[in-house]
Structure 1
Amino acid sequence: MKTFIVFLRGINVSGQKKIRMAELRTCLSEAGFKEVRTYIQSGNLVLDSSATELNISERVQRAILDTFGFNVPVLTLDLSNLQAIIKKNPYPATQEYNKGIYFVLLYDEPDAKAVETLENETFNNEEFTITPSSIYLKCHKGYGRAKCNNNFFERRLNIQATARNWKTITTLEEMALSNST
């Protein structure tokens, strides 16, 4: 058994795709996952499984469709992959100072030409670094005012992604570490 972090895209946002976390934990436990835990209401899970990242994503997506009646994009990372993403963050952050730092997690690697085109543009009060698995985003005026948000990157890079702030990502890492001990 390994510990995995699962990200659901677009649940409980503006009244759309509502899922109660207790019901989600039950649903996934019944689907065979162990030690299922959730963090806040926006689709962040930590669970244990002997399956692969891809298999977990497919099984979680199917369980949600069967139980709640709608399709949700699912991204699964094992703990070491999440830790590698955190470690490569080019924008200095600590638990005390992390305002405006976001991780845009990519479901697939973006096209190199699209990345090159986007990296040659500049945006006021926003910086980003694109890697094959994630985009590191620094929003100097806050994410709510950012032009370079999750939808922007999905549209410009023709990919699927889900964004989380520094606190959420590092809290999920801590939860996963406590699962894996």
Structure 2
Amino acid sequence: MTRYIVLLRGINVSGKNKLPMQDLRELLSELGYENVQTYIQSGNIILDSEKEKLVLEKEIKVGIKSKFGYDVPVIARTVKSIEKAIQGNPYPVDNEKVVAVIFLSKVATKTDVEINRAEEDQFTILEDVVYIYCPNGFGRSKLTINVFEKKLNVSATSRNWRTTKKLLELAQ
């Protein structure tokens, strides 16, 4: 049995794609996943499964689409891969509100991409993760999920540093 952290993109954001976590947990249990729990209202799931990562992602995506009508990216990570993502962060986390992690659907084939950005905003691409550091906050940053999806030809979802750490803590 493998413990997964599953990240949905675009759930319960700005009043769109409203999906009560209780309903999501019920769906995942119906699909045969075990020890299902959610964290906050934005599509963070911890569960156990014997299924392979790609099978799990597809099955959850199809389940959400058929039951709720939402076509959202689903990205699953093992506890070990989240640990690795946290350990690989190259940026200071004394202010957790300015660091985020973008989880990619696959390993990036390029790591040197050109993005128009504020001088102080920084990013680092390592395999299937993009670390973002925006010391003045994310509100005006050009380092968005959409930009990275387009430049890297992947699906993606992001979590702030605090949520990423909390998901690992809950999964361990």
Q: Same fold (TM over 0.5)?
A: yes
Matched, 1:145 2:137: no
Distance in 2, Cα, partners of 1:148 & 1:168: 19
Q: CA deviation at 1:149?
A: 1.6
Comparing both structures, which one devotes a greater share of its residues to helix?
1
Q: Which contiguous aligned blocks of 4+ residues in structure 1 show a shift greater than 6 angstroms?
A: none
Distance in 2, Cα, partners of 1:117 & 1:175: 34
Secondary structure class of the residue paired with 2:96: coil
Q: CA deviation at 1:165?
A: 0.3
Q: Which amino acid aligns with 1:84?
A: K
Q: CA deviation at 1:124?
A: 2.0
Higher mean C-alpha deviation, range 154-163 or range 168-177: 154-163
Q: CA deviation at 1:122?
A: 5.9
Q: CA deviation at 1:62?
A: 1.5
Distance in 1, Cα, partners of 2:14 & 2:124: 29
Matched, 1:98 2:96: yes
Distance in 2, Cα, partners of 1:136 & 1:108: 15
Matched, 1:161 2:156: yes
CA contact (8 A) 2:117 2:141 kept: no
Aligned length: 172
How do residues 42-57 of structure 1 correspond to structure 2 at under 5 angstroms? 42-57=42-57
| Gapped regions of structure 1 (runs ≥ 5) | none
Query: What's 1:77 paired with?
Result: 77
Q: CA deviation at 1:44?
A: 0.6
Distance in 1, Cα, partners of 2:155 & 2:60: 17
CA contact (8 A) 2:113 2:151 kept: no
Distance in 2, Cα, partners of 1:118 & 1:176: 35
Provide TM-score, normalisation by structure 1.
Answer: 0.88
Percent of matched pairs sharing the same residue: 39
Aligned-residue CA RMSD (Å) = 1.6
Q: CA deviation at 1:127?
A: 0.7
Distance in 1, Cα, partners of 2:101 & 2:144: 10
